[in-house]
A = this chain, B = another copy of it.
Amino acid sequence: MKPNLFEALPAQSSDESFQDLLKVPGLRIERIVSHGHASPPGFWYEQDWDEWVLVLRGRAQLQIERQDALVTLQPGDHCWLPAGCRHRVVSTAPGEPTLWLAVHHTR
């Protein structure tokens, strides 16, 4: 059995945590734990693979290039970021862990 998704959450004082739950050709499933972390000003993720993200705890706001409104993700909310879709994390909840599941997919 692989590590439980909800266990061993890193402490508040930690760096943002990234842990691969699965990695096979074309597919990587990752647990991310943020503690108020956000993308640096002016930084954009731009990936040549697709990403589907789901927030399971906490709260996050994403900015997607050429979209006026921010995307707010609360537990159970998910967002599809196809390859090449420039995006950044505007904020994650302060004072509690934000737990993400990210599914990275290469076509």
Contact = CB atoms under 8 A, between A and B. Distances in A.
A77 B22 contact: no
Contact of A1 (B29, B50, B71, B101): B71
Contact of A6 (B1, B25, B76, B103): B76
A54 B5 contact: yes
Stoichiometry (number of copies): 2
Interface residues of A, number: 30
A76 B101 CA distance: 11
Contact of A78 (B21, B76, B78, B80): B21
Nearest to A21: B78
Contacts of A26: 26, 105, 107
Given A2-B80, A22-B80, 6 more contacts: A1-B79, A24-B50, A27-B50, A27-B105, A29-B52, A54-B101
